[in-house]
Amino acid sequence: MTTEMHITISLLSEKLQNLLGLAKGRFLIFPGLRNSLHVAINELKLILSFLEVEAKNNTSSGNSLHARILPNVYFAEHITDVFLLNANITRSRSDSVSAVCQIILQKPLMVFPPRSQVQFTTKMKKIVNHFKASYGELADWLEVLDNLHCN
């Protein structure tokens, strides 16, 4: 596995973890988005594990997989950045008095507009499906290979 691929996937996973962490605070995130984040994070972890095993076994499918997954990782990183940037713009536009009232009343802050959450969720689901399609055909082969090494 290339260092570039590992770093890129790790950074994206960290961004998604941070976004998921906002849901535990006082920011309102819809369940669909929360679920999509969990699924995407798990898929990224699986991809990292998959690529590490391939690297240990010196298989050639890693380059092919790299070529299929990396553009999707970059796209996922891009839409995550755009989503967070739009949320920051929305937050800065909000009236500071309204924000103070929300803090005093202990109500969740709607930093992520509902429409943006739905759009982001839909895009993340598509990207996860691309990830699964990219390594799905190789997963059975890798499992067999891994079982051979374990036995």
DSSP per residue over 77-140, as a string? HHHHHHHHHHHHHHHHHS-HHHHHHHHHHTPPB--S-HHHHHHHHHHHHHHHHHHHHHHHHHHH
Radius of gyration of the chain measured on its C-alpha atoms? 19
Answer yes or no: is pLDDT of 73 > 50: yes
Residue type, 80: T
Q: Which residues contact 95 (CB under 8 A, 6 or more apart)?
A: none
Residue 97: pLDDT band with limits 50, 70, 90 = very low
pTM above 0.75, yes or no: no
Count other Cβ atoms within 10 Å, centred on residue 13: 20
**Spatial CA neighbour of 36 closest among 131, 135, 138:** 131
**C-alpha closest to that of 108 among 21, 28, 31:** 28
Q: Which residue has the tokens 């997963």?
A: 139
Mean pLDDT of 120-139: 81
Chain mean pLDDT for the chain: 75
Q: How far apart are CA 71 and CA 90, in angstroms?
A: 28
pLDDT band for position 110 (cuts 50, 70, 90):
low
For range 7-13, the mean pLDDT: 90
- Mean pLDDT for the stretch of residues 144-149: 56
